[in-house]
Amino acid sequence: MPDKSITLLVPLSADKAGNILGTGDVNLRRICKTLGVEAVYRDGNLTIKGTRHSVEKARAVIYRLIHELEVSTFLRDHSLDAALSFPDKHDHTLEISVPGRAGHIIAKTAGQEKYLRAMKNSEVVFCIGPAGTGKTFLAVASAVAALTDGLVDRIIISRPAVEAGEKLGFLPGDLQQKIDPYLKPVYDALYDTLTPAKVQRSLDNRVIEVAPLAYMRGRTLNNAFVILDEAQNTTITQLKMFLTRLGCSSRVVITGDITQIDLKPASSSGLVLIRKILSGIEGIEFTFLSREDVVRHPLVQKIISAFERESGNHES
């Protein structure tokens, strides 16, 4: 039986309509073409007509754009692409509020929503996916929100000091100066989610600690939100060491991209091996992001796709 045609009215104030619908209604026309609906904006209401399924998706796309505009005060160049690829109702329980310039943070893709839900519900979360999918940023944002809400007493963020072609001994400066370049993405996320003054105070009083993985050995991490970033560059022994640091009232998030392994051989990556070892254990959850979850420049998706095709050609 064919889906019946329905009409829905979506309230949309004039001050938001220009951003949402686009210059000359270019965004609205694309929504209509992509989802197979008809729509017209008049007198503060957007009227959408089509099958129930299509109309409800179109409404969800509009609401997602409205929400992003409200929390970010602007729409990015690829906001519409993201909304059309994830036309589901926004889950407000997964929204993160942070005191930094990022403000309110919402999932931009279905994969990000699963990742945020995993971090909310599980004590140990692995997130594996390509560059630009928000792995590190969402982990840091979740940690800052947990600290701000009093759910943990401190944040500990670590990375293995293994990068493409460079060794710590060949970098200039003292140990802190040597490791800082490896940890810059983490600092970027911190400065997005906290005020600069708060970041510095928290680092000074050790409420936030950013350190290489080797510094985790022998410790027990209680009442902490612990993040291991770039985990594709850890061995299985290092991952075991890190995971067994977990103390009472703590959460652990481990992120990585198994397409960018700098260990030799790549098969020695603990992140590749760990799923088989830990799958099925209650309290541990694996989430996987893909190029569809990339929230950087739209070209990043195309770059990842091109490399995936090239990798497939070499394997065939």
Asked if 78 and 107 sit in the same domain, the reply is no
Encode pLDDT of 35-87 as tens digits: 999 999 999 999 999 999 899 889 989 988 988 887 667 887 778 888 887 76
Q: Which is more confident, 197 or 176?
A: 197
DSSP state of 263: S
pTM above 0.75, yes or no: yes
Domain count within the chain: 2
Please give the residue range of the domain that contains residue 57: 5-85
Question: Which domain CATH number covers 247?
Answer: 3.40.50.300
The neighbour count for residue 89, using CB atoms within 10 Å, is 11
Highest average pLDDT, of 84-93, 207-216, 238-247, 263-272, comes from: 238-247
Do residues 179 and 248 make contact, with C-beta atoms less than 8 angstroms apart?
no
**Confidence class of residue 176 from pLDDT cuts 50, 70 and 90?**
low
Within-domain flag for 91: no
Do residues 279 and 286 make contact, with C-beta atoms less than 8 angstroms apart?
yes
Asked if 133 and 240 sit in the same domain, the reply is yes
Please report which residue ranges of 162-315 form alpha helices under DSSP H. Answer: 175-193, 196-204, 236-243, 270-278, 298-315
Within-domain flag for 111: yes
Instruction: Report the alpha-carbon angle 250-255-257, nearest 5.
Output: 170
Encode pLDDT of 269-282 as tens digits: 999 999 999 989 99
End residue of a domain, out of 37, 63, 85 = 85
Backbone angles phi, psi at 26, to 5 degrees: -65, -40
For 110, the enclosing helix (H) or strand (E) is helix 110-121
Distance CA 198, CA 175 (A): 24
